[in-house]
Amino acid sequence: MVFSLIKRIKWIIRWIVVAFFASTILSVVVLKFVPVYFTPLMFIRVAQQIKDGKDVRLYHHWVSLDKISPSLPVAVMASEDARFLEHHGFDYKAIENAARHNLKKKSNTKHGASTISQQTAKNVFLWPGRSWVRKGFEVYFTALIEMMWSKQRIMEVYLNSIEMGDGIYGADAVAEHHFGTTAAKLSRPQCAMIAVSLPNPRKFDSSDPSPYMFRRQGKILHEMKFVKAFPKEGEDK
């Protein structure tokens, strides 16, 4: 009886593991070709708005990478992940530098080392949070998209799915609601300002920038001079 129960539990666990890997790999393969229209964070934000009795705000328009200003990938790389085109999902040098900074007793701010690939994996497949379990899933999905997607696809999904304001997701939505234009027509300074907001877009409003945001925008515009133009599909091979 006990042996039979143990055997059945092992069988169930084995199939749960198989189902997990099969479903996650399939989802990554599908989203290599299909636009990402919704993310877990979008549903979470809508639920929060309903709970708080607020009007539902959800603005998101998927556009292909060739319909996004070429300055925007350069701006987010300058701000978020300068070695995006060089690493395979994890920037070990940035991790080391962040660890050194965060270990300093006199440091009042904590530095992160999350790459664009990691942020894409988190935005598309996971929920917000800082638990080790969620971090483990983030590492897993980051490895998957780096293996199965091109850098261009990762950047395209990132720029279309990331939160860029209160209820605003993606480059085209923020271009319309914050700058009165389209993603394709965003100027270099506007792209830099969007990049400024990305660590916390609901705190740093790119449509109403603070003095700090203007200073940060200037630094990003300077850094953009040293970042190469983002390559088209196949040009980086």
User: What CA–CA distances, in Å, run from 88 to 2, 72, 74, 122, 232?
Assistant: 46, 21, 18, 16, 18
Cβ–Cβ under 8 Å, residues 84 and 226: no
Q: Give Cα 129 to chain centroid, integer Å.
A: 14
- Specify if 236 maps to a domain: no
In a domain, 233, yes or no: no
Is 235 a domain residue?
no
- Does 18 reside within a domain? no
Enter the pTM of the model.
0.90
Give me the residues paired with residue 60 across strands.
Answer: 169
Position 43 in a domain: yes
In a domain, 60, yes or no: yes
Residue-range definition of the domain harbouring residue 133: 31-224
DSSP letter assigned to residue 182 = -
Number of domains in the chain: 1
Asked if the structure places residue 2 within a domain, the reply is no
The pLDDT value recorded for residue 101 is 55
Cα–Cα nearest to 84, from 234, 235, 231? 231
Torsion sign, CA atoms 169, 173, 178, 182 = positive
CATH of the domain at 159: 1.10.3810.10
**H-helix segments, the chain:** 2-30, 40-51, 71-80, 92-103, 116-125, 132-148, 151-161, 171-179, 188-197, 211-224
**Is 79 a member of any domain?**
yes
Per-residue pLDDT of the chain (237 residues), as tens digits, is: 667 777 788 888 999 999 999 999 999 999 999 999 999 999 999 999 999 988 899 999 999 999 999 999 999 999 999 999 999 988 878 676 656 656 665 555 555 568 999 999 999 999 888 888 999 999 999 999 999 999 999 999 999 999 999 999 999 999 999 999 999 999 999 999 999 999 899 899 999 999 999 999 999 999 999 999 999 877 765
